[in-house]
Amino acid sequence: MASAPTESTPQPAPKKKPSGKLVDPKFIRNFSIIAHIDHGKSTLADRLLEVTGTVTQREMKEQLLDDMALERQRGITIKANSVSMRVVYEGQQYELNLIDTPGHVDFQYEVSRSLTCCEGALLLVDAFQGVEAQTVANAYNAIEHDLEIVPVLNKIDLVHARPDEVKEEIEQTLGLDASEAIGCSAKTGLNCQAVIDAVIARIPPPTGDNTAPLQAMVFDSLYDEFRGAIIFVRVMNGVVRKGDRIKFLQAGTEHEVVEIGQKTPKRTATDSLSAGQVGYMVCNIKSLGNVHIGDTVTTARGQQAEPLPGYEQPKRMVFCGLYPSDGQDFEQLREALSKLQVNDPSFVFEPETSDALGFGFRCGFLGLLHMEIVQQRLEQEADIDLVQTAPNVTYKIQRKNGEWIEVHTPTRVPEMGDIESFEQPVVRVSFVMPAEYVGGIMKLCADRRGAFVRQEYLSPIRVMLVYDIALAEVVYDMHDKLKSTTKGYGTMDYELRGYEQGDLVRMDILVKGERIDALSIVCDRRDADSRGRAIIKKLRQEIPRHMFEVALQAAIGTRIIARETISAMSKNVTAKCYGGDISRKRKLWEKQKEGKKRMKSIGQVDIPQKAFLAVLETGDGDKQG
């Protein structure tokens, strides 16, 4: 039988619309949940919503805060999401603002934005898997933001959970005191009440003055077809009310607040937001260029607040071309990209043209998963059929005349004779894995010319390996290779170290003697031959046969390094000749040969979408063969 709640146990506050009365900042707690991917952040968020009575059992569903269709399909968090909960603790009502964050390395920018709005964080660690690569990265990120970190061990109900060893890993790897780490099970709800207790007792309240001029940070936004841009803010100082005139300091635009409120987790209108609170504002903003993540909101009348530092611009690491498969959809694609950028400011786009694909956009992303997610969101939300070119990283090139240029696409790489220095981004990669797989990972890194940095034992059976590797070697298939080498137990995280000189070349793919700009790649000179052969072989399989012979070539400058030929479809033109003079057959063969020659000179080669992805083949299979 359940025991009666003690006086200090937080109780769900009665459900009612938030009142217009200002909330004292000392009764507010702003926190986020940070963890490695799949350690149970979204599930714990679900349980906290249940424990606090924010949602009823009837309204409850799994991954409640993951409201994007793609998040629910993939079972991962892509966008940070916020929710306000109210609990009664020791006779006093508290407001808890939870900002749920993604766990994948590509969405690190979402995590850092969320942490800026919080005073504390729950560091969630799987009680069986222990400290993983992204756990380390997110913990250090929270420490840099001066947040109070509360360690929480999830999945302690599993038979093979090892909480004591994992606590030791937290102390050894992160230097955090894990003696008061809370053990819970987000799946069953075991001990989730203690997590709420710790949030109130251990995370400090926000500092803020309700009497100061309004100063609020825009940490997220989304585009609504009927209401325009909806912005999500954390109020640092002052109060904002419905009907107020507000000003965006970075954009320099003024708007009237039409609606103000908090997510509970549905958008619920309130009369005001005061210092320390997190909520949303609707201001009938139709122009998408007026919304900047990290902008400061203040009052348009009277004394104005100082602008907040905002966020560092995210570093886009991977670029690719996105083209509508139907050229008529170009403007529709531009509009869809603009709307998506309001919700996800970490990707950029600019128009470009391709001889093979027509008009499209060169887009920059934080990583390969981020690129995949944006493409899927465009296809699902905007219903546009896309053709995507092979991804590549940003290079820095110094010309012979001393000029430095940044190159996002291989077609802009100058001729080799004009290049003085060719630099590529290098990342520091941390691998965390069971000790028996160290040899396999070392070989994997050696094959990609990685430079060994250090090796650390997190526990007797778990190791962290750190290597410096060129980003181009990491983004394509390093994650897949890591998972297959470690049978799924290895994890990785990386951060940009800077640019280093590399022996790089631009490899062009020629189809029927013509360079196809969308198939060009930049690669290491030592890999060029094997990579070129692999791509040409793959293209030969993907490009259908034509009525004429098609030559496929890989070239560096004017030097051809690989060639394959797609033979012409043959038609038996002498099928109707029964016996008789051979000269009749020869005439028909000569006529056929002339026709194919003419067709070869004017015929167009159809290149299917799958062929553009052939350049992702790294040539490993060719090396092993």
Q: Show binding-site residues.
A: 38-43, 154-157
CA distance 297 to 252: 10
**Under a CB-based contact definition with an 8 Å cutoff, are residues 197 and 9 in contact?**
yes
Task: Compute CA distances 307 → 213, 248, 262, whole Å.
Answer: 12, 9, 23
Coil, strand or helix at 617: coil
Task: Please tell me what DSSP assigns to residue 306.
Answer: P
For residue 243, give the nearest of 207, 284, 209 by alpha carbon.
284
Q: What share of the chain is helix, strand, coil (3-state, %, to 5)?
A: 30, 35, 35
Tokens of 559: 């030097």
Task: Please tell me what DSSP assigns to residue 151.
Answer: E
**Under a CB-based contact definition with an 8 Å cutoff, are residues 251 and 231 in contact?**
no
Coil, strand or helix at 298: strand
What is the DSSP code string of 468-497? EEEHHHHHTTHHHHHHHHTTT--EEEEEEE
For residue 293, give the nearest of 312, 317, 265, 273 by alpha carbon.
312
**Under a CB-based contact definition with an 8 Å cutoff, are residues 121 and 54 in contact?**
no
> Other C-beta atoms within 10 Å of 300: how many?
16
Coil, strand or helix at 615: helix
CA distance 310 to 312: 7
Tokens of 490: 């290895």
Residue positions forming the annotated binding site for GTP:
38-43, 154-157
**Under a CB-based contact definition with an 8 Å cutoff, are residues 214 and 220 in contact?**
no
What is the DSSP code string of 2-67? PPPPPTTS-EEPPP-PPPSSPPPGGGEEEEEEEESTTSSHHHHHHHHHHHTTSS-TTT--TTTT--
Tokens of 270: 């309130």
CA distance 338 to 316: 17
For residue 514, give the nearest of 601, 384, 450, 591 by alpha carbon.
601
CA distance 319 to 338: 17
- For 402, left (φ over 0), alpha (ψ -120 to 50), or beta? left
- For 130, left (φ over 0), alpha (ψ -120 to 50), or beta? left
Cis-peptide, bond into residue 265, ω within 30° of zero: yes
Encoded amino acid at 312, one letter: E
Coil, strand or helix at 199: helix
